[in-house]
Amino acid sequence: MKLKSTKLLFLYRSFLFRFVKFETDNEKLENIVKALNIKNRKQRIEFIYAEMIKSISNYYKEDLCQFKNNQCIAQRKNKSNYTNGCCRLCLYKTGGDCLVNNVACKMFYCNAALKNFKELKYNDLELFKVLSITNQFMLKSDYFTKEEDVIKDLNYGILIGTLRVTYRFIKQFIYYKKN
Ligand code: SF4
Ligand code: SF4
């Protein structure tokens, strides 16, 4: 079946189209077609996630946070005593580049970082539209979380995903209190 636009994605990713193979003549829709042709839910989420990480990294090539002596541009501007920028309370901070590959974190830049740079929006990422509304919401909110956990949250769906997020939130809160 030929895909011409992104209008009916909610239908095309559903069970009804499980045995339909999609094609397209539009270069811009090629990745969407690849995603729709992956019929296994987890594998499709993994593909979308990996492609989104690639697109975000390609877009944000510049060093917008400008870390110096472990303080980012916002912390230096505000003469803060804290270090590690907005990762300072995260369990996974390394003091350098984050290795966790979290989409929500990679999409976040504060006003100080974006002063002379146009922000990338979720809707600029074609593959984001292939996710369901609830998965879009979860992906956007799942900060401070490892890639494999975000993928599990998206795969399990909103109910189990929310329980998992709540558990991690409590763990994060305890870490915050201790630090
Ligand atoms: S996004 Fe802003 S607060 Fe976070 S590390 Fe970059 S400059 Fe600092
Ligand atoms: S997971 Fe997010 S908050 Fe934690 S260190 Fe990585 S980028 Fe920072």
Any ligand 1 atom below 6 A from CB of 143: no
Q: Check residue 94 and give its pLDDT.
A: 79
Atom of ligand 2 nearest to the CA of 104: 2
Residue ID of nearest Cα to ligand 2 atom 1: 144
Ligand found nearest the CA of 115: 1
Token reading at 19: 């045995």
CB-count exposure of residue 75 (10 Å: 0-12, 13-18, 19+): buried
Q: How far apart are CA 9 and CA 26, in angstroms?
A: 15
- Across the chain, mean pLDDT equals 92
Q: Domain boundaries in the chain?
A: 40-178
Q: Could you tell me the sign of the dihedral formed by the alpha carbons of 171, 172, 176, 179, in that order?
A: positive
pLDDT above 90 coverage of the chain, percent = 72
Instruction: Average the pLDDT over 12-38 and give the result.
Output: 94
Ligand found nearest the CA of 84: 1
Residue ID of nearest Cα to ligand 1 atom 6: 65
Residues 6+ apart with CB under 8 A from 28: 126
pLDDT of 65 higher than 80: yes
Q: Check residue 161 and give its pLDDT.
A: 81
Residue ID of nearest Cα to ligand 2 atom 5: 93
Q: Check residue 125 and give its pLDDT.
A: 95
pLDDT in tens, 83-106: 999 998 888 887 667 888 999 999
Predicted TM-score of the model (pTM):
0.90
When pLDDT is cut at 50, 70 and 90, the band that residue 165 belongs to is: confident
Q: Check residue 63 and give its pLDDT.
A: 92
When pLDDT is cut at 50, 70 and 90, the band that residue 61 belongs to is: very high
pLDDT in tens, 3-22: 988 889 999 998 899 999 99
Instruction: Average the pLDDT over 34-46 and give the result.
Output: 96
Output the CA 129–ligand 2 centroid distance in Å: 24
When pLDDT is cut at 50, 70 and 90, the band that residue 60 belongs to is: very high
